[in-house]
Structure 1
């Protein structure tokens, strides 16, 4: 079984986001970077599948040279190959990103390497567009299931489960297929020291991305306005406690 996992380099969630003076890009000088929790689970699931069924796993990202850090993190967990579609670091729209990934997959196919599964995180941690995996599946004419939280492979088919507001949906999909993975499908492992040392020595394949302009024009970025609210709870004896519990329920914290 050959698996491709696509990840995206995004600012760490604890970082303080600032913009460049022209408002066109995120100022990355003082930010740490990572991948989304959904993509961490996609990497873990790919490693588990190849451990169980054999085959190979490849991780791919589209981004600047610094994105090799995220590729090596994935290899430290057990992914065998890595591909970097190198850009100048500017944010790409979902259409351009998907077309570049499709072109890379087609180049791999022309070189004799095909994939039984192409896996994505359900959404990236920055833009949360929910688009790239579906667009790749459509361009490659492959079946696609999004937001999966359980996966079993048997006889060239994938049995997947996804959770909805009304309950669980189960789908039986013929491989090859595209799956987008949601956090909670597994508990990602921590990279071992030998794994990190091994990943540092591995070669990363660098490709110039081929892409189609999505036709979107960025006007500018704008940080959301931070709004705070204060709630004063007054009451005697147990009344205040009841109001606190009711407030927490309204905030869905209970």
Structure 2
């Protein structure tokens, strides 16, 4: 079995977002970075499938030189090798990202045979474009199921389950397939010290993709306005009880 997982280096959530002077990018100088949570589940699922069925697993990312950290994290969890599509740090749109990943996937498949499954996160934790996995699947002419919360191999097919409002939708598609997964698919393992040590010696292939002329232009980013907050004393002791009850009733608690 051969499995690929495509991941993205994204800012750690909860950090203070500061824009660059031209308001067209995020100033990342003081931000920490990690792998998108959906993609962590994709990595875990790939490792589990390879552990159960044997084979080869590859993690790919398009990003700056520092993105090798996220590749090493994935290999510390059990992925066999990595392909790093190095950029200068500028954000690529979904079309360009998909094209670069597609070239790398095709090159690897030419050398090693087709991937049975290619995992993507349902959407990245920063831009949330919902595009890259779908674009790659379309270009490869392979079935694609999105937003998955459960993946089960069934011979030469894969059973895919999505959560919907009143239950689950179930799809069974033939392999090879492209699957986009969501957080909650599984519980990603924590990398062990031996795993981190092994990851240092696992191969990382560096590729410099050509950046096509973008057909979308990012004009400006805006940071959401902060919501005003204030504290108000409702009184003290038993005299404050009616005011407290009124607040709870307006909030729908009572």
TM-score by length of 2: 0.91
Q: Please report how far the alpha carbon of residue 175 of structure 1 lies from its aligned counterpart in structure 2 after TM superposition.
A: 0.5
Q: Matched residues in 2 for 1:232 and 1:167: separation?
A: 43
Q: Which position in structure 1 is the counterpart of 2:141?
A: 141
Q: Which position in structure 1 is the counterpart of 2:224?
A: 224
| Aligned-CA RMSD value | 2.1
Q: Which whole-Å deviations, capped at 9, do the CAs of 1:190-221 have from their partners, x for residues lacking one?
A: 00000001111222101122454440012122
- Of the three residues 228, 248, 254, the one matched with 1:244 is 248
Q: Matched residues in 2 for 1:3 and 1:123: separation?
A: 19
Q: Please report how far the alpha carbon of residue 228 of structure 1 lies from its aligned counterpart in structure 2 after TM superposition.
A: 3.0
Contact 1:95 1:213 in 2 (8 A): no
Q: Matched residues in 2 for 1:145 and 1:59: separation?
A: 20
Tell me the SS of whatever aligns to 2:180.
strand
Contact 2:114 2:176 in 1 (8 A): no
Q: Which whole-Å deviations, capped at 9, do the CAs of 1:21-44 have from their partners, x for residues lacking one?
A: 122221111111001211111100
Q: Please report how far the alpha carbon of residue 238 of structure 1 lies from its aligned counterpart in structure 2 after TM superposition.
A: 8.1
Contact 1:95 1:212 in 2 (8 A): no
Find the structure with the greater CA-based Rg.
2
1:23 matched to 2:23: yes
Q: Matched residues in 2 for 1:33 and 1:116: separation?
A: 30
Q: Which position in structure 2 is the counterpart of 1:69?
A: 69
Q: Matched residues in 1 for 2:66 and 2:252: separation?
A: 42
Q: Matched residues in 1 for 2:140 and 2:59: separation?
A: 18
Q: Please identify, of 94-103 and 202-211, the stretch whose mean Cα deviation from structure 2 is larger.
A: 202-211
Provide structure 2 residue ranges, at least 5 long, that are not aligned to the other structure.
none
Q: Please report how far the alpha carbon of residue 129 of structure 1 lies from its aligned counterpart in structure 2 after TM superposition.
A: 1.0
Q: Matched residues in 2 for 1:74 and 1:227: separation?
A: 37
Q: Matched residues in 1 for 2:187 and 2:249: separation?
A: 32
Alignment of 1:68-217 (within 5 A): 68-210=68-210, 212-217=212-217
